[in-house]
Amino acid sequence: MARTIRRVGNGQAELVRKRAEEGIAEAQFNYGRLCYEGTLVDQDPDEAAAWWLAAAMQGHVQARTRLGHLLRSGLGFEIEDDAIVRWWFEYERSFAEAGDAEAQLHLGKMYAAGRGVDRDDLKAAHWWRQAAAQGDGEAKLQLKRRSGEAGDLHVQWELALTYLEGRGVPQDESEAARWLGLAARQDHAGAQLRLGQLLMRGPAGVRDSVKAVEWLLRAAEQGSREAARELGDLYRQGVGVEANDSEAQRWWRQAAEFGDASAQYNVGMMNLDGRGVTADPAAALEWLLKAAGQGHSDAQFQVGMIYRDGPSELRNPAEAEKWLERAAEQGHCEAQQELGWWAG
């Protein structure tokens, strides 16, 4: 092997290297260990793999084991040496055929990627099923991914939530967005909603407010009250769309009609303040009562104030005190202040 020692602490590494080049398996194993650990020579996992392969080809058991573990771990490097990749394939196959679940998982990956063997999706799936049958979680995930990529809507949604919430895997918003997109394009309203939310508030590499609005619109058009409420918020704030109180009122009202307490409160306040609609205290009270009945403390406070200070035909001191007390009991500061002032 035409490799050179880049840093030598003493003559020990040179001696081990010389014996390794002479073909002594134990020296090849030991020099590979020096390269792997960065002891006396610069750390180099690729060179370690090459020396361990040379020793393994001579039947050195420890070298075979260490090389197998190194290749499985990855450790941030990519093996390009064809001889090492072919050895790796045979290594995994020998253990997989003996029933080792981890080897079955890795062998499936090698068939799927065409590493050390021609790509074969059927054989990849076969080995993943073997590993999954032994309870291997990653193999199960690989099989799900294949089903999702083949268009299984249920699996696409399940995988989206898996990556979005980190269920048994590291949380990955980019991967979640990919699976949400596949399900959303099949008109899954929940996926459209979650994709819109992720694009609106996710990490910088995922965020896209314009596309977020598009997906929220599609979810809202399918009857998602949460998407409708979010659209109302966006139109009110002018995020991803031009601010428009009439559109905010329209989407909030859709969500309100489906029973969303926050949207009911917002519709009530728009009617009370005359934003996007003509001011109508009676209509405002109607919507605010719906939200207040669901325990919305701001709505309870506003109901109390309308009954106390609103138009004469709506005033009702007993009802005013009741709703202000309900808000105050939930810790609403303004309600507590009003009750304190009133009592004084």
**In which band, very low, low, confident or very high, does the pLDDT at 6 lie, cut at 50, 70 and 90?**
very low
Look at residue 196 in the predicted model and tell me its pLDDT. 97
Phi, psi of 334 (to 5 degrees): -65, -40
Burial string for 228-258 (b: 16+ CB within 10 Å, else e) reads bbbbbbbbbeeebbeeebebbbbbbbbbbee
Tens of pLDDT, residues 203-222? 888 899 999 999 999 999 99
Lowest mean pLDDT among 70-74, 87-91, 110-114, 339-343: 339-343
Considering the chain, what percentage of its residues have pLDDT values greater than 70? 94
Res 258 pLDDT > 50: yes
Contact 26, 60 (CB under 8 A): yes
**In which band, very low, low, confident or very high, does the pLDDT at 341 lie, cut at 50, 70 and 90?**
low
Contacts of 127 (CB under 8 A, 6+ apart): 96, 104, 105, 107, 108, 111
The whole-angstrom separation of Cα 5 and Cα 106 is 33
* Residues constituting the chain: 344
Res 97 pLDDT > 60: yes
Look at residue 133 in the predicted model and tell me its pLDDT. 96
Res 81 pLDDT > 80: no
Tens of pLDDT, residues 282-318? 999 999 999 999 999 999 999 999 999 999 999 999 9
The whole-angstrom separation of Cα 204 and Cα 134 is 39
Look at residue 78 in the predicted model and tell me its pLDDT. 62
Look at residue 39 in the predicted model and tell me its pLDDT. 81
Would you say the C-alpha torsion 219, 220, 223, 224 has a positive or negative sign?
Answer: positive
Res 50 pLDDT > 70: yes
Average of per-residue pLDDT across 268-294: 96
Look at residue 85 in the predicted model and tell me its pLDDT. 86
H helix or E strand, kind and range, residue 67: helix 61-73
Res 14 pLDDT > 70: yes
Res 2 pLDDT > 80: no
The whole-angstrom separation of Cα 200 and Cα 231 is 11
The token duo for 311 is 């138009």
Tens of pLDDT, residues 191-203? 999 999 999 998 8
Contact 215, 196 (CB under 8 A): yes
**In which band, very low, low, confident or very high, does the pLDDT at 328 lie, cut at 50, 70 and 90?**
very high
**In which band, very low, low, confident or very high, does the pLDDT at 326 lie, cut at 50, 70 and 90?**
very high
Contacts of 343 (CB under 8 A, 6+ apart): none
Average of per-residue pLDDT across 10-37: 91
The token duo for 208 is 């896209």
Look at residue 269 in the predicted model and tell me its pLDDT. 97
Contact 51, 32 (CB under 8 A): yes
| Largest Cα span, the chain | 104
Contacts of 137 (CB under 8 A, 6+ apart): 168
**Element counts in the chain: helices (H) and strands (E):** 19, 0
C-alpha pair distances (Å), 83 with each of 80, 98, 116, 170, 336: 9, 23, 9, 33, 77
Residue (of 262, 250, 248) closest to 297 by Cα position:
262
The token duo for 234 is 């966006």
Res 7 pLDDT > 50: no
